[in-house]
């Protein structure tokens, strides 16, 4: 079975590589701005994941296409990728001392296998009260402009995190364990043609 990851995220690529199952990466061409940020957060990220898979699978009907979108939500407000330094600073101040949700919507589509399946994973993340100097150092040293909520838990911002409830990989950008189980539930066992680790 040919598998395609419809994502430009280096973190998703890294996570999926852990399964040692071969896959290609093809970047989808979608306009994410057509979905309103005041949508239901779960529906928002699932809809974006579906847009990505639909864009790629129409050209590759015989491949299983994986689309995903990860967002940060604080009190029903979607904190997307920041456009500039000021926006990043504001987002981190909103998250400071609070518990937020990290949602990933995933869509699996295989036209030839008659599969279109979506699911979402939620992880609760609690931040410590952030020191202004730490916050600004992070923004200046680890530019967060490609990260929802303005942070990447796998980098220096790990020091912001007081507690995680749920899947860590989901916060990084892809709920690997849940994905594997959902695939098995669909009758697809990646072990059937998995490659041995190097």
Rg (CA), the chain: 17
SS3 10: helix
**pTM, entire model:** 0.94
The separation between CA 112 and the C-alpha centre of its own chain, rounded to angstroms, equals 26
The residues pairing with 165 across neighbouring beta strands, listed in sequence order, are 124
pLDDT tens sequence across 68-82: 999 999 998 999 899
β-pair type (161-165, 63-74)? unpaired
DSSP 155-186: SGGGGGEEEEES-HHHHHT--HHHHHHHHHHT
**Cα angle at 162 between 12 and 181, to 5 degrees?**
35
User: Position of tokens 């990290």?
Assistant: 102
Instruction: Give the span between the Cα atoms of 78 and 45, in whole angstroms.
Output: 10
pLDDT tens sequence across 13-65: 999 999 999 999 999 999 988 888 788 999 999 999 999 999 999 999 999 99
DSSP 34: G
Q: How many residues does the chain have?
A: 198
Other Cβ atoms less than 10 A from the Cβ of 190: the count is: 15
Instruction: Give the span between the Cα atoms of 107 and 109, in whole angstroms.
Output: 6
What domains does the chain contain, in order, with CATH numbers? 2-193 (3.90.950.10)
- Catalytic site positions: 69
Check residue 38 and give its pLDDT.
80
């Amino acid at each position: 079975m040919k598998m395609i990851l419809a994502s430009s995220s280096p973190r998703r690529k890294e996570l999926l590589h852990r399964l040692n199952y071969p896959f290609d990466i093809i970047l989808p061409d979608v306009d994410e701005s057509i979905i309103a940020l005041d949508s239901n957060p779960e529906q928002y990220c699932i809809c974006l994941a579906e847009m990505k898979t639909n864009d790629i699978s129409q050209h590759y009907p015989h491949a299983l296409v994986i689309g995903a979108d990860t967002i940060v939500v604080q009190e029903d407000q979607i904190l997307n990728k920041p456009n500039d330094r000021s926006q990043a600073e504001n987002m981190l101040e909103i998250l400071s001392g609070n518990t937020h949700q990290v949602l990933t919507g995933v869509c699996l589509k295989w036209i030839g296998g008659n599969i279109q399946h979506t699911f979402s994973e939620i992880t609760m993340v609690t931040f410590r009260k952030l020191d202004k100097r730490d916050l600004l150092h992070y923004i200046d040293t680890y530019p967060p402009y490609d990260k929802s909520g303005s942070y990447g838990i796998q980098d220096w911002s790990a020091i912001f995190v007081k507690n995680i409830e749920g899947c860590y990989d989901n916060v990084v950008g892809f709920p690997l364990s849940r994905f594997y189980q959902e695939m098995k539930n669909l009758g697809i066992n990646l072990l059937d043609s998995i490659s041995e680790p190097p």
